[in-house]
């Protein structure tokens, strides 16, 4: 296993981490009563970032 294969192994975890962070921020804002930012973050998280993380 070369260095290139080891380095590529961290990319999906990073993408999942970003997706989870955006979703957590969306739910946190929703719990505070946010009506503008929360839906935007949740849509970005579920419709964009999660599919990107799944495909990687």
Question: For residue 47, with 0-12 CB atoms within 10 Å meaning exposed, 13-18 middle and 19 or more buried, which class applies?
Answer: exposed
Domain that holds residue 8: 3-55
Task: Report pLDDT for 6.
Answer: 55
Number of domains in the chain: 1
Task: Report pLDDT for 56.
Answer: 85
Interatomic CA distance for residues 53 and 38, integer angstroms: 21
Task: Report pLDDT for 33.
Answer: 94
Kindly state the helix (H) or strand (E) to which residue 49 belongs, with its residue range. Answer: none
Q: What is the pLDDT of residues 1-56, one digit of tens each?
A: 455 555 555 689 999 999 999 999 999 999 999 899 999 999 999 999 999 999 98
DSSP letter for 33, please.
T
Task: Report pLDDT for 41.
Answer: 97
In Å, how far are 6, 8, 15, 25, 35 from 31, measured between CA atoms? Answer: 39, 36, 24, 10, 10
């Amino acid at each position: 296993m070369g260095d290139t294969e080891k380095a590529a192994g961290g990319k999906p975890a990073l993408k999942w981490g970003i997706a989870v962070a955006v979703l957590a921020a969306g739910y946190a804002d929703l719990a505070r009563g946010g009506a503008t930012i929360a839906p935007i973050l949740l849509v970005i998280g579920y419709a964009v970032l999660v599919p990107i993380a799944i495909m990687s």
